[in-house]
Amino acid sequence: MSESNNNRTQTGTSYEEIQSLANGILSKVKGRPNIGIICGSGLGKLVDVVTDQEIIPYKDIPGFPISTVPGHEGKLVFGKLSGKSVVLMQGRVHCYEGYPPQKIAVPVRTMKMMGVKTLIVTNAAGGINRDFKVGDLMIIKDHVNLAGFAGVNPLVGLNDERFGPRFPAMSNCYDLKYRQLARSILKELNYQDFMREGVYSMMVGPAFETVTECKLLSILGVDATGMSTVPEVLVARHCGLKVFGMSLITNECVMEYDSEQFANHEEVLETGKKRSENVKNFFSIFIEKIEV
């Protein structure tokens, strides 16, 4: 491998390193998960419904990226949820924390090597769609990788075919059967009043969007926007995992130039707290019914 190619892989983690990371984690727990769940801002309370818990803080895992954001506790939680073996990431890392997107790929690839076949991603998002209200739950049907337009993509660099193909298809990122199941469960729970389905976009952050940026996202067909999820989904699909995604709408994006409203992280966490029981109810049923 040439020196230039070596440089291109500096920010990544090799297949052997991921394998070692996965084996090291599994050596510390009894659980063998086939479902992975990434909990977004304010959504970490989903861990409350996990039984037989085995917990490993990220800081105790050499080479594992560590969360630095309020609302992201930074723990791997193994256990049972609705009879299925799961591993929850109680908190994630983001590009705005200084991590390259290739580093954000590490937890997803590690879960894959631990036996995970389905990845569930959740996030807190701002509502772009004017019909969306604070507290709505949005099933993600697609995303716009705006950061990817500028090269912020975890798949950039040399490709190891053992992870996945050089040019992975992304036309069915969010599994259709999972989305259909989610819609039926939300109706069974009488959550229709705050049930949505739409397109998510990722901005790198940490600054919230300007009014003009929100207007642009609306023109592009985006329904909700946040600062995460897309890199994890790209990596998950690259390595063959099925994906289900859900956003909690925690604020309505400001679309008027003269508005005195502004987005803030405290509002995000507060909305997550208020909707936590609904989220736990939904995922308890969803995980029971999905075919992994």
pLDDT at 189 (0 to 100): 95
Q: Residue 3 above 50 pLDDT?
A: no
Total-model pTM: 0.91
Phi-psi region of 91 (alpha: psi -120 to 50; beta: other; left: phi over 0): left
Helix then strand then coil, % of the chain, to nearest 5: 35, 25, 40
What is the pLDDT at residue 25? 96
- How do residues 58-78 score in pLDDT, each as one tens digit? 999 988 988 877 666 789 999
Active site residue 227: yes
Per annotation, catalytic residue among 197, 213, 265, 284 = 265
Please spell the DSSP secondary structure of 228-243, one letter per residue: SSHHHHHHHHHTT-EE
Whether 251 sits among the annotated catalytic residues: the reply is yes
Is the per-residue pLDDT at 4 higher than 90? Answer: no
Active-site residue, 265 included: yes
Domains defined for the chain, CATH in brackets: 3-289 (3.40.50.1580)
Q: Give residues with Cβ within 8 angstroms of 179, minimum separation 6.
A: 139, 141, 197, 244
SS3 at position 8: helix
Q: Which of 123, 145, 153, 228 is catalytic?
A: 228
SS3 203: coil
Q: Which of 124, 129, 132, 116 is nearest to 18 (CA)?
A: 116
Q: Which of 72, 200, 247, 252 is catalytic?
A: 72
Q: Is 94 a catalytic residue?
A: yes
**If you ran DSSP here, which 8-state letter would residue 192 be given?**
G
Instruction: Tell me, yes or no, if 195 is annotated catalytic.
Output: no
Active site residue 72: yes
Q: 118 with 240: CB under 8 angstroms?
A: no
Is 96 catalytic? The answer is: yes
